[in-house]
Structure formats: C-alpha cells, structure tokens
Structure 1
Amino acid sequence: MALAVATASAHAEEAGNPAPVIDPSIDRTELVASEIRLGNWERLYVASASMHRIVPVDVLRGSGSEPRPTLYLLDGVEAEDTSGWLTKGRAAEYFTGKPVDVVLTSGGVGSMYTDWQRYDAMLGLNRWETFLTDELPPVVEAYLESSGRRAIAGVSMGAQGAMMLAQRHPGRYAAVAGMSGCYSTADEFGHTVTRMTVGSRGGDVVNLWGPPGSPEWAAHDSFLGADHLRGTVIHLSAGTGLPTPADLAAITQAPNIFDAARMAGGGSSLEAGTRTCTERFAQRLTQLGIPATVHLTPTGMHTWPDFADALGPAWRTLAPALNVPAD
C-alpha cells in the first residue's frame, strides 16, 4: 500500500495535480493549531489519522454564552481551500447572530464525502466519512464546548454527502438538509451522476467503491437506505434551472457575456437534473411515511447565488430540530 501510494503521488506530481500529500507520521486525530480569520470566523487545523494529513476546518462561532448545537455544512464538488459557502455562499453573513456553531471542511474535491476503497492518483487518499463522523466531531465539539446536538447539510455533491452520512449513521444527526443534490448511487442514473462528479475533477470512479454495481454503490445509496432516515428531520430543496433576476444580472455584468451565458447553460441543466433527483427522493420518503420539508422554487440555477438563497429555508427547517430559534 505504501509503495502504491508513493508511486501514485509521484505520477500526480508529474501531472501537476495538487493531490493532498500523505504523511504516515500523522497517526492520531487531534487539533494542532487554530487562528482567528475575521470576527466569529476561526480556522482550525485538525490532524486526521485516517487520511494521514492535516485538514483545514473553518468554524463560524454562534451567538450566546450557553453551549450551542453544531451544523456541519458541506461544500460542492470544487471543495476548494476555503469552502464555497464562505467565499460565495454568504454563510458567514447569514449565520451572524444565530445560536449555532457552523463547521465547514476544506479540500474534499470530488470526494463524494465518503471513504474510498483505494488511493486515487488525482484526488489522493479520501476517508471523509470516517473523518466527518468519527474523527472531527469529538475534536471540534470539545473545542467549541458544544451542546452535543448536531445537524448536517450540504449543496450539490455535499447534499448527497450529507444525506448519505445521515442515513448511514442513524441518530447521529438530529436533522439533515440537501440543497440541489442527487441521492441515488446504485441505479444507472446514480452511476452516471457519480461518474460525472468524480470524473469532473480527474478521479477514477473505480477507486471510489469499486466498479459501478459493486455492493458499496448500493450501501451508499440514500434512496435505497431512506428508511434509516426515519426520525431525522429532513429538508430538501431545488430550483428548476430557470435563471433568477440575480442570475441574469450576473451574466450581463460578467467581463465576457458569452462565456458567462455558456456557463449558465451548464448550471441550468445541472439544476434541472437535481430537481428530478429531489422530486424522486421526496416521493420515496412519502412512500415510506417519512416526513420531509420540500422547498421547490420556480426558478434557480446550479449557482452560488441561488445556493445562498436556499440556505435560509433550510435553516428554518433545521433550527427547531436543534432546539434553537431560526431567527
């Protein structure tokens, strides 16, 4: 395994790929450093024993002096060095003054927020399910002196990841929100979406859960595992792919209107696809008698301005489950 990882890392470096570097000496999970970014925004550096590296984790501290619940907020497929929720999704602004601590990880690009079966030359060693469910909560919730109550939410790839983690770990989260996501992995449509997600960032989907159709593909399918969500407060949302006034304004104000319009067309198609995914998953929950809040808007593309607008409705569903006011 060590030789295979070293060889893959060498190939990745030759290709100019910024795959996270593995440090075998990192064999325990712990907080190694912290820094104040701005206001209530802090960045923590958490050593992960499972991924053998230090993972940057951003925290938005909530209001009040009493122990607060924790919201884990997952990024989309880009999963850059700083979560898109902070750089583009207005999360810091939105959660200012709210009695909840928000935790945002960095660097899960194309990972599906899951444990991969094998190291990937382009995307590195991914053990995100282990990190998010077993390693990070004891560290960050102790640091924040949390109340111990938690929810998880995400957008796009992060929506799938949030729902997958909630259904694979029943009772761990009081509530879950998926915004503009797809939730099946075992059927042909789920295979296609997963291939697109991983492949869009250069990853080999076979390294994820084995060849499509292998048992782990079904084990991570939230549509098949939906019954495990019983008792969890659920929020789902999606647009239609039609642009909002803000989307149109962004296109007209872009340096290159033609490029912006072309990219908007892609965002329109993606959101239309997630609308189908969301409606299908909502129907599945209804068939099982599992309540869910479903927020479907008449417009909205697969873009950060529209994701930011989806945050408020999601929070209004999550907050009561965390025993805190939404406003």
Structure 2
Amino acid sequence: MRRALVSLTLTVLLVPAAPALADPSPDPSPTEPAPTEPAYVPADDGGSIAESKQVDAQTIDLTIDTPLVDTSKPRIRLYTPAGWSRTSTATWPIVYVYGGGPGSYTEWAGHSDLPATAKRSRALVALVDGGKAQGFTDWYNGGRGGNPRWETFHTQEVLQLLERNFRASTNRAVMGISSGGQGALTYASRHPGLFKFAACFSSLLHITAPGLPEAMMFTDYARPEPTVPDPLAKWGDPAADRRNWLDHDPYEQAEGLRGTRLFVSAGDGTQGPLDEDLATLIAKNGLNGLQIYTEGAVSETLVASTTADFLDRLGQLGIPVTTDLYGPGFHQWKYWDREYKKAWPLIMDAIGG
C-alpha cells in the first residue's frame, strides 16, 4: 500500500506547483526598543536580535542575526499577553509555533485566527521561522555538519533570546502544522523535558517508513525554485546514512516523548466537509485545481499512514497521547485552524497560560 501511495505522490509532484498563498500585508517600518528598556542580551553562541518592529500593541517582529543559519536571517513574530513588559520581574509561559515546509514565519498569522487567540491568552506565543523547506534539522552535509543548523537554532538560541530579553519562562510548549509539526515532535523527542507539551497537525511522523525518504527528497528536487538544491544534505543518504535518519524520526525516537503531554491530529486523505470538490477547484484555478485537489488528498493519505504507525508505537511504549483522527479531510489550513483550537486549552493547562 505504501509503495502505491509514494508512487502517486511522485506523480503529483511532477505537476507544476500551485501559486503560493500571499503573506499578510507588509510590516510597518522598524521601531527600536524604547530608550528606557534594557539592551538586548545575546545568546551563548553570539546570536542576537538584529532588529525589532512593533507591529501593534501586542505584536513584535524580530530579526535574528545568527551564526547557525547562513541561508537567511530568521525572523520571529512574538505575541505578548495583556500586562506583559520587558522590564517586569515576572516571567510568562510560552508557545513556540512552526509553519509548514514552504511557508514563512507569518504563515499562521495569514491562515488562522491564532493571533487573536494568542493575544487573549496569558502566555507569550512565538511564530518562529523555519526557513523554506529547510527540514527542522541540523543539516548532515555529508557527515561534516555545519550550516544551516535549524535544530540548534530552535532548541537553544531562540529559547535563550526570548528568555533573556522578553521574559519567557521555561514553561514551554511547541506545536506545528505539516513539516512544522514533524519538527515539533522531533525536537520534543530528541530533547526530553525541553517542552511540557507538543502538538502536531497533519505531520509525517515516521519518516523512515518504506519509500518516505525518497518521496521527501523528491519533493525538494521537484520544487520550481528549490531552496534545497541538494536534499541529500539534510539527513544524508537514506541507505548509507540511515542512522542519521533514524535519529530524526519521531517514530524511532518516541521514547524521548515520555513525560511530555502530546496532541496529534490528522485526516485520512478523502474529501471532507471543509474541502472544495474537484470541479469547483478547477473552475477557480484551471488545471492547477487538479493539483491542489490531488496534492491535498495524497499528502494527507501519507500523513494518516505515518500517524497510525506513530500512534501504534506510542501504544507499545505506554506513552499517553490525545488524538483527533477526524477522518475525511485533505492537507489544508481549514482543518488546522480548527484543530489547534482543540489542543489550545490542553496546552494552556500544561504550561499555566
């Protein structure tokens, strides 16, 4: 069954990519911290906050100057709760949020109502850049390591910068959609205790399942303007460097999730109540409508398969997890905007938000 699914995936990927959804409107011009506020403290590795923009009264955009990522200057959108202050002696719990593979750091802001939810909460919420299809991993680079080092950036540098400069506490949660959800569970499993809660929505959770490494690498090769010119550089060759793939597979690293509260949701890849039918998509998008429909179906079918594997593994290990396997549904934002709301009260309870 998996071979057939992977074959179908490769066929889908040969179709020209559908137009990307637009990011939210441009940010306002930069605003430096008020003169009375303390200077920004760097991370241990020298990473620092290069720029700060006050988007609105509760929203700050940060640009990070980091030695860990040489492909871009990563950015963070930080939502602050009522009563928050940089100069307070109090600290606030925090939720780290990741987008999908090709999305930007503002993806959640453009496609969900998370900003409003965040501003009503008693926690900080950070939408953190993951690069475009960069893999939520420190790249293998043929065994040499080196840039980009997204895992180190996300699990060390970002935490230090927000805890030292924005009163974030060590009561942390992490969540993400698609590859961002895979990253969230990978980080939580590889760094036990770093997060009190981890949630993923429609993610590949068994990346070493037969055919999955090849499908994931082909996706990188097939992008019209690839941001990953050599997909082998991420985790290495699936056969020769299998140990490194296993070390970054949520299924294989599931034991590391013991003690972390978990939420996992996924559809099954059949057309669901929030999906447009094929005829409607073609009427709106021409031939691209066929790709949107097929990609959404095939992607979520693969998600469902790997999610079933992962949940079976948690069951074997006796690790509890809250799930919402909601059945019919494609790989798309209308479901994720619904699903995060089911996890949110559990997240807030776990971190005291």
* Alignment match, 2:14: none
What is the one-letter code of the residue matched to 2:264?
Answer: L
Cα 1:233/1:200, change in 2 over 3 Å = farther
Correspondence 1:127 to 2:117: no
Give the counterpart of 1:141 among 149, 156, 163: 163
Distance 1:212 1:269, change over 3 A: same
Aligned partner letter, 1:51: V
2:317 to 265, 271, 288: 288
Deviates more, 1:45-54 or 1:147-156: 45-54
The answer to whether structure 1 residue 212 and structure 2 residue 238 are counterparts is yes
Preserved contact between residue 203 and residue 307 of structure 2 (Cα < 8 Å):
yes
> What is the distance in 2 between the residues matched to 1:210 and 1:139?
30
1:70 and 1:141 in contact (8 A); partners too:
no
**1:54 aligned residue (70, 73, 76):** 73
Of 324, 329, 342, the match for 1:300 = 329
Query: C-alpha distance in 1, partners of 2:271/2:107?
Result: 20
3-state DSSP class of the match of 1:264?
helix
Larger RCO (alpha carbons 8 Å, 6+ apart): 2
Query: Letter of the aligned partner of 1:293 in structure 2?
Result: T
Bigger mean CA deviation after superposition, 282-291 or 99-108:
99-108
| RMSD, aligned α-carbons | 2.4
- Cα distance in 1 for partners of 2:188, 2:127 equals 17
Equivalent AA in structure 2 for residue 91 of structure 1? L
Task: Determine what percentage of the aligned residue pairs are the same residue.
Answer: 28
C-alpha displacement of 1:223 = 0.8
Unaligned runs of 5+ in 2: 1-44, 85-89
**Residue aligned with 2:134, SS:** coil
- Contact kept, 8 Å, 1:226 with 1:285, in 2: the verdict is yes
Q: Secondary structure at the match of 2:168?
A: coil
Residue 200 of structure 2: SS of its match in structure 1? strand
Asked if structure 2 preserves the Cα contact closer than 8 Å seen for 1:61 and 1:101, the reply is yes
TM-score (norm 1): 0.82
1:252-291 equivalences in 2 (<5 Å) = 252=280, 255-256=284-285, 259-291=288-320
* Separation in 2, partners of 1:309, 1:251: 25
Q: 1:249 to 1:266 in 2, by over 3 A?
A: closer
- Tell me which of 102, 107, 112 is aligned to 2:135: 112
Does the alignment pair 1:248 with 2:267? no
Find the aligned partners of 1:189 and 1:108 in 2 and give their Cα distance. Answer: 25
Residue in structure 1 matched with residue 220 of structure 2 by the alignment:
198
Q: 1:240 is aligned with what amino acid?
A: D
Distance in 2 between residues matched to 1:247 and 1:104, nearest whole Å? 26
Task: Give the length in aligned residue pairs.
Answer: 293
Structure 2 Cα separation of the partners of residues 320 and 168 of structure 1: 23
| Contact 2:74/2:131 (<8 A) preserved | no
How far residue 107 of structure 1 moved from its aligned partner, in angstroms, is 5.2
Partner of 2:347: 318
Which residue of the partner structure matches residue 11 of structure 1? Answer: none
Counterpart-to-counterpart distance in 2, 1:278 and 1:102: 26
SS of match in other structure, 2:121: coil
Q: 2:249 aligns with which of 221, 238, 249?
A: 221
| Structure 1 residue 146: Cα displacement | 1.7
Inter-partner Cα distance in structure 2 for 1:54 and 1:165: 21
Q: CA deviation at 1:216?
A: 0.9
Deviation string, structure 1 residues 188-227 (Cα, Å, up to 9, x no partner): 2441343245334432221112211312111111111111
Q: Which amino acid aligns with 1:78?
A: P
CA contact (8 A) 2:278 2:290 kept: no
Q: 1:306 to 1:99 in 2, by over 3 A?
A: same
Map of 1:20 onto structure 2:
none
- Give 1:322 deviation, angstroms: 0.7
Who is 1:150 aligned against? 172
Q: Distance in 2 between matches of 1:250 and 1:28?
A: 51
2:196 aligns with 174
TM-score, normalising length: structure 2: 0.76
For the Cα contact (< 8 Å) 2:271–2:277, is it kept in 1? no
Describe the superposition over 1:238-284 as per-residue Cα deviations: whole angstroms up to 9, x where unpaired.
01223344422898487336533541221012112211211221111
What pairs with 1:227-246 in structure 2 (closer than 5 Å)? 227-246=255-274
